[in-house]
Amino acid sequence: MKPATQPHETLETARAEHLTLAQIAQRVQDACGEPLACRIETLGEALTRAGFSFKRATATRLKKRDEEEFAMKQATLDKLQVAARDGQCRLFYLDEAAFCASPPVQRSWSPRGLPHAVEPNPHCRRNVLAALNFAENSLVYAASARTVKGPDVVGFLDALIRLGDERPTVIVLDNASIRHSIDEATLKRWFIDHKALLFYLPPYSPELNLIEIVWKHFKYHWRRFVTWTRETIDENWRNCSPDTAQNFKSISREHLTIPTAARNRTSVETSPLDSYSAFKAGNNRSNSRFTTS
């Protein structure tokens, strides 16, 4: 193999496998049967010019996804979004997230030799179960210091559905096991009494759940790089997003009741979440933080 094929072999090697620069150079030499035609530093510069960068590998399960099912669900969601914008139905995206008192560590600008530091506090956190109203750009949530369990999901969904109007309600959610703990009788009651349906996403499809965008902005863009305390964590996480505090509205605790069928399967320790509130996101509907175009 001629040295002239080394550039092509370099790009193909870097594209095919997770390797360091030295490993890529060795693979190219072995494949071409000749010494590398340039210095290893020049090899790195060539990869940069070709659009490559040296970064940490990521874990993914996208290969296990059923692409046909994914495309079908995506097309259905596009139609539901149009219907929701036209006021024909209520469309919610549901998920839960954990907020620790100490912020996630990420890159930022700081003086040389004086990186910004934060005091860790891993034992203080809030688990938040929430539903993003697609058309209204509002967030309905329940926050608790304890783990979110199946009965909590049932109680939250029941309250969310009963707070609706005469329009059909579609709630988009993933396939976590606690989402499938809802008995058939409850699902039928929601459909008959409130015209409400659960729309399960295909496995390994987080990009179809728009509330994931909200979580990302809460954790990495809206919250300040400070550690919250047990006394301030509830107020701090609610005020992560600018201009939201003035839009907070409390919803009576009586809305959080578990349907009889679910209540019979639970103990006192697995009562509904401790608080239930709603706030307007305070952003324009076209804002990319909540909607896609």
pLDDT per residue as tens digits for the range 161-192: 998 888 999 999 998 888 888 889 999 999 99
Q: For residue 76, which phi and psi values (nearest 5 degrees)?
A: -65, -40
- Rounded to whole angstroms, the Cα distance separating 131 from 172 reads 9
Bridge-based pairing state of the strands 169-173 and 196-200: parallel
Based on the fold, state whether residues 100 and 157 are members of the same structural domain: yes
Based on the fold, state whether residues 274 and 193 are members of the same structural domain: yes
Confidence of residue 44 (pLDDT cuts 50, 70, 90): confident
In a domain, 287, yes or no: no
The pLDDT of 7-12, averaged and rounded, is: 82
Q: In Å, what is the CA distance from 38 to each residue of 25, 53, 158, 229?
A: 10, 19, 66, 56
Give the angle subtended at the CA of 268 by the CAs of 263 and 270, to the nearest 5°: 70
In a domain, 160, yes or no: yes
What percent of the chain has a predicted confidence (pLDDT) above 70?
A: 78
In a domain, 8, yes or no: yes
In a domain, 288, yes or no: no
> Structure pTM?
0.66
Confidence of residue 63 (pLDDT cuts 50, 70, 90): low
Q: In Å, what is the CA distance from 229 to each residue of 127, 142, 248?
A: 15, 19, 21
Answer yes or no: is pLDDT of 202 > 50: yes
Q: Residue 126: helix, strand or coil by DSSP?
A: strand
Q: Which amino acid type is present at position 118? A: V
Based on the fold, state whether residues 115 and 224 are members of the same structural domain: yes
Based on the fold, state whether residues 20 and 147 are members of the same structural domain: no
In a domain, 21, yes or no: yes
Give the angle subtended at the CA of 184 by the CAs of 180 and 190, to the nearest 5°: 95
Based on the fold, state whether residues 118 and 35 are members of the same structural domain: no
The pLDDT of 273-290, averaged and rounded, is: 34
Based on the fold, state whether residues 240 and 129 are members of the same structural domain: yes
Token readout for 87 is: 């006021």
In a domain, 231, yes or no: yes
Confidence of residue 61 (pLDDT cuts 50, 70, 90): low
Print the domain residue range for 22.
3-49
Based on the fold, state whether residues 37 and 82 are members of the same structural domain: no
Give the pLDDT confidence score for residue 214 in this predicted structure: 85
Based on the fold, state whether residues 154 and 19 are members of the same structural domain: no
Give the pLDDT confidence score for residue 105 in this predicted structure: 76
Neighbours of 6 (CB within 10 A): 22
Based on the fold, state whether residues 70 and 44 are members of the same structural domain: no
> Which residues are within 8 A (CB) of 84 and not within 5 positions of it... i.e. 6 or more apart?
90, 91, 134, 135
Q: In Å, what is the CA distance from 213 to each residue of 219, 260, 289, 290, 291?
A: 10, 34, 6, 6, 9
Q: In 163-202, where does DSSP find H-type helix?
A: 184-194
Based on the fold, state whether residues 18 and 151 are members of the same structural domain: no
In the chain, the number of structural domains is 2
Region of residue 268 (left: phi > 0; alpha: psi -120 to 50; beta: else): alpha
- Rounded to whole angstroms, the Cα distance separating 55 from 220 reads 20
- Rounded to whole angstroms, the Cα distance separating 268 from 73 reads 38
Confidence of residue 141 (pLDDT cuts 50, 70, 90): confident
Based on the fold, state whether residues 45 and 132 are members of the same structural domain: no
